[in-house]
Amino acid sequence: MIKIIADTTCGIPVPVLEELGIFVLPQIITFENESYRDDTEIDTATFLQKLRAAKTLPKTAAPPHALYTPIYQKVLDEGDSALVITPSADVSGTYRSATIAAQDFNTDRIQVIDTRTIAGGLGSIVLQAKRWADEGLPMQDLVNKVQSLAKREHVYFIVPTLEYLHKGGRIGGAAKLVGTLLGIVPILTVVDGKVEPHEKVRTLKQATKRFVELVVKACQDNPTPYLSISHCDNLKGAKQLQKILETRLGISNIPIYLTPPAIVVHAGPDILTVSCFSAE
């Protein structure tokens, strides 16, 4: 059997992942001299309180490679294999940690994939990988399908300010927008693992309208777009977007995920994200 290993940047609630039998690793959040695992030691609500009160931007760190070691050992001891699905290596050190830990075992029964994405889209990939693994796909076929799915993702997000992305060093090509955003709401995307500008609109209402247009276009002729919405402290906006997309696409129960602290550090509060996948 192939076991799936993920981390909290996928945005799926930890209890949900654990109930599905998916191993989940934490990201580490550090406010000055205090560090917290974001799976058990700090939740998003508490994190937001501390973030807004902090004088300096907190730091984030990928799960140490030592946290992967006992999981790998358990999986191998039980005669299983492990597929580790990580966020983009350009925005997180998770892929590196997982790879370093895997090198100690020197076996092809542990495979690590850099999905080149993060948050809701990563969550969709993790959940689909679990379904495929449960269907009994061989490891190489599973790796190929996960990589193919990741390449077909379309992700768009808006943030009230680029301050957090800029200070956190995760801004990528969107850096060209800094200092030019008076009266502008940027729609950002992820291109090959990096944050890039997609387009600029004048109002949040226009941004939501464009979200819908972009997603509907990306989902054309695809009965399984694995659509998801992610937010932080913006449930109202997420639900409004959910209702519009469900009506336009004729689908129901689009999942809404809460963006985890490790992402909010760099994107800032009030982020709203939509992820979907085009047909193969």
* pLDDT score at 8: 94
What is the value of pTM for the model shown? Answer: 0.89
Domain that includes residue 268, residue range: 153-277
d(CA 18, CA 15): 5
* pLDDT score at 171: 42
135 lies in the same domain as 234: no
DSSP string across 219-276: TTT-S----EEEESS-HHHHHHHHHHHHHHHT-----EEEPPHHHHHHH-TT-EEEEE
114 lies in the same domain as 157: no
* pLDDT score at 57: 80
For the chain, what is the domain count? 2
192 lies in the same domain as 122: no
Q: What is the mean pLDDT of each run of 10 residues along the chain (280 residues)?
A: 96 94 95 89 86 83 96 98 95 94 96 92 95 96 96 85 53 42 70 78 81 86 88 89 91 89 78 87
Say if CB 66 and CB 112 are below 8 A apart: no
177 lies in the same domain as 110: no
Residue 106: which CATH number?
3.40.50.10170
DSSP tag of 1: -
Residue 255: which CATH number?
3.30.1180.10
203 lies in the same domain as 272: yes
156 has which bridge partners? Answer: 189, 274
- For tokens 């997603």, name the residue: 215
* pLDDT score at 7: 96
Q: Which two three-digit tokens encode residue 110?
A: 């542990």
11 lies in the same domain as 145: yes
Output phi, psi for 252, to 5 deg.
Answer: -130, 165
Centre a 10 Å sphere on the Cβ of residue 216 and count the other Cβ atoms it contains: 15
206 lies in the same domain as 137: no
40 lies in the same domain as 128: yes
